[in-house]
Structure 1
């Protein structure tokens, strides 16, 4: 039995990866892995920001399923809890404050590093990827020295692509050498533009996207270093690595910036890869899948019985994955200003049809993704599928109240 590793990158857009069609060479290492990967072309997140998406990634349940509190409900079952009960070693290393022990995400982990006591700054408010790799390396070093080696589950999460977008100069130069900003100037952009969600100036938005892309290039190096750590400890051959993101980021595709309560493709479409050293050839899966399927997939990889609490399905074997639509939900908020009176927003996608409902304004939207992949032409009033799609989403809306 192999180790299972879940590698998540905060805020990583699918369309920045070369293996998904990007031509800017931002992810050379990830792209180099494709011969040994299953690549999912239609993977969806169940939510457009961390609190809305990670219930799917680690508990295979939807954001509003157990109320809208920021703390993880004790009724949810974490994949770490399932594995720990079967004596599989579990370890987590991340730097996202919304996933720290205060909010309950430390349940079921033998090792849980959330870096909340680490020294950070307003300009870099998280432990960078090289710091996460250092912690992981030290833990793996102790693991391989044990006399009785047993498979483990490892989750690591990189925050480097997340705002405030203050990348190192060498990575900015890889994207556009003409960009010459100091860290103070980048932080001013964050305070005056990003935090205010001011997408009015196209040139400024393009500049922010370049800084974001520089971070994508940076995190590709951290992933390369992590794979090097696995090789150094002779663990790569007997480890499966699931790589994905929790959501994307917006750069004025729909009038805003960052990742608020919207359900469009720049936030919901995510990269999703499963790396296996022993894979004979690359595979591409075009089925519509969701990050709510991650915990059942991990259960399958450890040859355990399915977990009744999990709402997703195992992605493996591919031929057994059921054809189904994807749901998602979040709160219609701006920035971090979520209030108890904020109303939910929902989406449902099936094949190439996608419907969105905003409860606060009672507005429906529908998009035909084949002819309108950027979701700019709302066809709710003209599509013959509109009524059917509404009926498929309504039970979810009713269930959430």
Structure 2
């Protein structure tokens, strides 16, 4: 229980959630202040597995730019996200806090509140020009990450025909960033560029897919090339040696490991371990691999100490500067979670703790993996090691109790934003299920159901009958899932099976009476059946909740 005692000792101080060197120790480190007056180029790489970078062991030459960045800087071989969810992970990165502390526990439902200072706000307060360029609707300004950025480009891309596209390409993102960098080249800047290309569906340019040997790898290679355009610009303008360049993923991707293709449902290594590289030639060590455990919430305090500025007391992340100075690693535990299964489908949330030896995942069936003997997490040894499970459960509870919990600001996307989010495969308007419901389902058992739901979501507009074939068994197996019942009810309506549409949409509304979209979908079904009185009543209810709801007013 040594780690427990260390955790209790440090968490008596409000800052501690990930255990490591204290801020006082880091502040006296010889690297503190090394990046004073330097620019910062922060590249966040959505859905990028560490093992698809050459510097992390991929055998192909997919990522020559990132590999060279590692040679000119520090590569962190044991870096982890705190959630396999884009908005949640970026909120941790930008505030130096864990999900329970910033309260943004899932995409689309929450915004960052005003209590926590962000990296951009601090750089802006120190006279830096601040620009952000985000590739998709998930990180739009309405979710709160725009605070401190004087320029925040978050438009939803639209095709010439008016079709809402899933995201901007890496080429477009680098173009946007380069245009702004030209404007601020003679001033200090903090520039954040978000690349979304490795997120599904994988559609890289054909030459990249061919060279990389597959679509996902092709997306990673295409992103790498466009990050290279920014670094080339720094070199051409003699800014490279005074610009700290960071490349980090928000989370990884399943790609079939553990039977799962995507990322939001599980907490295994392919989702949680991320590439993290920092490079500042002449000021930071070069061609160094740091094997200490690191969380993405550690990036904020590290940057602030490199700049020579104080770290806000709200920050629970730990600076990595002591590790870069060669100090022995302190005992650490990295927190992880996914509440996506809970919010989107009414299934159990998952929580994890990663130590140098173990990964423990709290689930309806607990999971335990030996990181040293089983790095790919192929064998769950929870049943064989009950004492280790009990100890790590205790450590996880210590982390949870120490968290300075905050609630995110509840948000609802407008119709354009909801269409954009659905184009990315995300569940839209869903309720908060009851956390006291008995026996919430294990997300690991529901992988096929989620896959069928996503497939049906894509098929529904043009092949509702085929979507129904997938959704009917899904609804039988998961009748607590509003999202599944709602989509099935709409598919019945599209297939002109109006009795069944009314029944399923009514059941969905019973699960989530405040859903405006489900109510209006039911209005359309009722109108098709000539039942106008109930439809008018539902429209009035929507307008009471949202007086300027355009669709309800038109009905």
Tell me the TM-score normalized by structure 1. 0.83
Q: Distance in 1 between matches of 2:166 and 2:157?
A: 12
Q: CA RMSD in A?
A: 2.2
Distance in 2 (CA, whole Å) between partners of 1:264 and 1:85 is 38
Q: Does 1:72 align with 2:112?
A: yes
Q: 5+ residue gaps in structure 1?
A: 177-209
Q: Secondary structure at the match of 1:251?
A: coil
Provide the C-alpha distance between the structure 1 equivalents of 2:355 and 2:120, rounded to a whole number of angstroms: 30
Q: Shift of residue 367 of structure 1? A: 0.6
Structure 1 counterpart of 2:375, from 373, 391, 398: 373
1:236-385 matched pairs, under 5 angstroms: 236-278=240-282, 281-317=286-322, 318-319=324-325, 322-333=330-341, 338=344, 341-358=346-363, 361=364, 363-383=365-385, 384-385=387-388
Partner of 1:128: 169
Aligned counterparts of 2:64 and 2:50: Cα–Cα separation in 1: 14
Question: Structure 1: how far apart are the matches of 2:74 and 2:45?
Answer: 18
- Tell me how far apart the structure 2 counterparts of residues 13 and 35 of structure 1 sit (CA, whole Å): 19
Deviation at 1:87, TM superposition (A): 2.4
Q: Write out per-residue CA displacement over residues 277-296 of structure 1, whole angstroms, 9 at most, x where no aligned residue.
A: 22564111110001010111
> Is 2:390 the counterpart of 1:387?
yes
Once the 2 structures are TM-superposed, how far is the Cα of residue 327 of structure 1 from its aligned partner?
A: 0.5
State yes or no: 1:97 paired with 2:133: no
> Structure 1 stretch 318-327 or stretch 17-26: which is displaced more?
318-327
Per-residue deviation at 1:229?
1.5
Q: Aligned residue for 2:239?
A: 235
Q: For each residue in 1:65-86, what CA deviation from the matched residue of structure 2 results, as whole angstroms up to 9, or x when unmatched?
A: 3444421222232111222223
After superposition, the C-alpha distances for 1:38-88 in whole angstroms (9 at most, x for unaligned) are: 011000000112123112111112223344442122223211122222322
Q: Among 213, 229, 233, which residue is 2:217 paired with?
A: 213
Q: Is the 8 A contact 1:297 1:315 kept in 2?
A: yes
Partner of 2:519: none
2:150 to 110, 129, 132: 110
| 8 Å CA contact retained: 1:13, 1:271 | yes
Equivalenced residues, count? 358
Task: Measure the CA separation in 2 of the matches of 1:393 and 1:282.
Answer: 34
The whole-number CA distance in structure 1 between the counterparts of 2:398 and 2:208 is 47
Contact 1:64 1:330 in 2 (8 A): no
Residues 284-293 or 131-140, more deviating = 131-140
Q: Equivalents in 2 of 1:70, 1:332: separation in Å?
A: 12
* Residues 287 and 100 (structure 1), Cα distance of their counterparts in 2 relative to 1, 3 Å cut: same
Q: Flag structure 2 segments of 5+ consecutive residues without an equivalent.
A: 1-36, 406-434, 436-555
Residue equivalent to 2:503: none
Residue of structure 1 aligned with 2:77, choices 27, 37, 41: 41
Is the 1:17–1:26 Cα contact (8 Å) retained in structure 2?
A: yes
Q: Provide the residue aligned with 2:182 in structure 1.
A: 141
Using the TM superposition, give the Cα deviation of residue 247 of structure 1 relative to its aligned residue in structure 2, in angstroms: 0.3
Give the conservation status (yes or no) of the 8 Å contact 2:129–2:184: no
Deviation at 1:17, TM superposition (A): 0.6
Query: 1:199 matched to which residue of 2?
Result: none
**In 1: Cα distance, 2:49 partner to 2:352 partner:** 19
For residue 83 of structure 1, the aligned residue among 123, 147, 163 is: 123
Shift in alpha-carbon separation, 1:280–1:38, aligned structure 2, 3 A:
closer
Greater CA drift, 218-227 or 390-399: 390-399
Between Structure 1 and Structure 2, the one with more helix by share is 2
Equivalence for 2:67 = 31
> Residues 62 and 385 from structure 1, CA distance in 2 versus in 1: closer, same or farther, beyond 3 angstroms?
same
Which one is further off, 321-330 or 236-245? 321-330
Bigger fraction of residues in strand: 1
Separation in 2, partners of 1:49, 1:268: 10
Taking the aligned partners of 1:103 and 1:81, their CA distance within structure 2 comes to 15
Selected match of 1:167 from 204, 212, 216? 204
Greater mean deviation of Cα atoms: 313-322 or 226-235: 313-322
SS of 2:311's partner is coil
Q: Which residue of 1 aligns with 2:439?
A: none
> Displacement of 1:166 after TM fit?
1.1
Q: Distance in 1 between matches of 2:58 and 2:254?
A: 16
Q: Which moved more, 1:118-127 or 1:94-103?
A: 118-127
1:271 positional shift? 0.5
| Whole-Å separation in 2 of the counterparts to 1:167 and 1:88 | 35
